[in-house]
């Protein structure tokens, strides 16, 4: 397993070693010892999975303390553009984002620690996205920012027209980043 640092402190790409043969492939998606050696020593308490069609955009979401969540995200089938936004007020990269394509073919994972907004855009039909979290879901702790916030300037995907995106009503009502008071 290869752990790669991103330009944003604490945000890590996990590249598992994949063994392939005529039967298919095998890889270890989680190993507590290897993750702890890379600085990811949080206990995971819940696994989540979503199924989406191409153009579904989910995010940008987080949970505020004391229910803040770290997320270990990956794609089982299909592909997504995965985005994390640093909302740690004292961070040198506050308001900066990082994006990466995660797919069922590249097997990459992203560790998104507490203190980040998270979202993803599905790039293929029948995409299965899964993630382990470090805190249980708490509806009253939900926070977020509009996916297309001008100040964040996230380049989601030029091949998917904005008018064809699939968004939840809840995500359409999220505030702008300039109106967002980060609890981190």
Give per-residue burial for 84-96: e unless 16+ CB within 10 Å, then b: bbbbbeebebebe
H or E segment at 35?
helix 32-37
- The whole-angstrom distance between residue 56's C-alpha and the CA centroid of its chain comes to 14
CA–CA separation, 169 and 145 (whole Å): 13
| Beta carbons of 64 and 140 less than 8 angstroms apart | no
Q: Which residues are annotated as catalytic? A: 61, 131
CA–CA separation, 125 and 78 (whole Å): 7
Q: Which two tokens stand for residue 115?
A: 């203190």
| Beta carbons of 99 and 155 less than 8 angstroms apart | yes
| Beta carbons of 57 and 163 less than 8 angstroms apart | no
């Amino acid at each position: 397993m290869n752990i790669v640092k991103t330009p944003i402190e604490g945000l890590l790409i996990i590249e598992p070693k994949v063994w392939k043969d005529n039967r298919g492939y095998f890889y270890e998606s989680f190993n507590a010892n290897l993750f702890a050696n890379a600085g990811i020593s949080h206990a995971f308490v819940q696994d989540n999975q979503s199924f989406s069609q191409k153009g579904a955009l989910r995010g940008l979401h987080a949970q505020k303390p004391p229910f803040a969540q770290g997320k270990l995200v990956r794609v089982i089938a299909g592909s997504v553009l995965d985005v994390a936004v640093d909302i740690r007020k004292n961070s040198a990269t506050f308001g900066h984002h990082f994006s990466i394509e995660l797919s069922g073919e590249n097997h990459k994972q992203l560790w998104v620690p507490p203190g980040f907004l998270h979202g993803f855009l599905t790039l293929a039909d029948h995409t299965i996205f899964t993630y382990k979290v470090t805190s249980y879901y708490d509806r009253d702790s939900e926070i977020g920012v509009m996916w297309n916030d001008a100040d964040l300037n996230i380049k989601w995907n030029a091949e998917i027209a904005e008018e064809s995106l699939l968004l939840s009503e809840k995500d359409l009502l999220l505030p702008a980043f300039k109106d967002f008071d980060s609890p981190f």
